[in-house]
């Protein structure tokens, strides 16, 4: 009787928590990029951030949206992909503008050149948009032709979340290559870790496809590896090479 009397409070409270969790899933993924965006805008230097992070997230979320057409999952995860794609395009626009402004006298590169040596290192934001549209069109057409194949759909879902799980790998490799995390926002990585942990728990509690949970755990491990790099490189910074000059136009992998 007492439990029934509390229904008027528990039911709307449960609904409120569900809405909050859904909202966190939709918008929580973009929050880590706010401090990095502000740092790049303030310093006019994008070398510490790997533009390949944007590539990984764009591919992962485009594939996830296509996976939705073959196997419907929760709407917050679908809208999260839409919001993340828009966010990564904004990050790419800023990084491209900052990089090109510092590359005075450097030959301009375009997507239409189809030069693999300069893939994802073009001179205009429009070229990145062309690449994203081309990938979406090709992947979408293949999905349309194969949507009735359960094997294709499950493989597509696995590729989507596996690609997203590799999100931190470009940053991990860049840090290792330079033996430094200078220019990388520690706040961004901390938010990656907390967000990916929350997301993985959300997957497990809401019965998301198995691919989501497994790759979510892998993503958390990569985040922790990047944090370990930050700790190690801060305690044991590399000795600067004599007479070394750090060019302003160096590519960030």
Domain ranges of the chain: 9-235
Q: Which residues contact 44 (CB under 8 A, 6 or more apart)?
A: 98, 101, 102
Q: Taking the alpha carbons of 34, 183, 49, 202 in that order, is the dihedral positive or negative?
A: negative
- Tokens representing 177? 């290559």
In the DSSP assignment, the letter for residue 116 is G
Q: CA nearest 202: which of 38, 23, 52, 67?
A: 23
Tens digits of residue pLDDT in 160-172: 888 888 878 888 8
Residue with the two structure tokens 């590359």: 103
52 neighbors 119 (Cβ within 8 angstroms): no
Per-residue pLDDT of 180-220, as tens digits, reads: 888 787 888 888 888 888 878 877 887 777 777 888 888 88
Distance (Å, whole) CA 58 – CA 140: 14
Query: Would you state the pLDDT for residue 253?
Result: 38
Q: Phi and psi of 107, rounded to 5°?
A: -60, 135
């Amino acid at each position: 009787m007492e439990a029934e009397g509390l229904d008027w409070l528990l039911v709307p409270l449960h609904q409120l928590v569900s809405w909050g969790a859904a909202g966190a899933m939709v918008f929580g993924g973009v929050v880590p990029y706010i401090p990095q965006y502000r740092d790049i805008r303030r310093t006019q230097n994008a070398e510490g951030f790997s533009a390949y992070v944007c590539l990984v997230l764009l591919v992962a979320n485009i594939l996830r949206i296509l996976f939705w057409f073959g196997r419907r999952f929760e709407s917050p995860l679908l809208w999260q992909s839409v919001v993340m794609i828009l966010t990564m395009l904004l990050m790419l626009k800023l990084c491209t503008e900052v990089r090109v402004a510092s590359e005075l006298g450097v030959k301009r590169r375009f997507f239409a050149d189809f030069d693999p040596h300069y893939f994802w290192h073009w001179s205009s934001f429009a070229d990145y948009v062309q690449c994203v549209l081309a990938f979406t069109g090709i992947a979408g057409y293949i999905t349309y032709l194969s949507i009735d194949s359960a094997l294709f759909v499950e493989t597509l879902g696995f590729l989507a979340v596996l690609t997203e799980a590799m999100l931190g790998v470009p940053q991990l490799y860049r840090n290792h290559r330079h033996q430094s995390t200078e220019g990388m926002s520690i706040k961004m990585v901390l938010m990656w870790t907390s967000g990916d942990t929350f997301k993985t728990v959300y997957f497990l509690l809401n019965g998301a496809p198995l691919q989501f949970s497994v790759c979510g755990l892998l993503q958390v491990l990569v985040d922790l590896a990047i944090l370990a790099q930050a700790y190690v490189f801060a305690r044991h910074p590399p000795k600067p090479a004599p007479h070394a000059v750090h060019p302003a136009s160096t590519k960030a992998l």
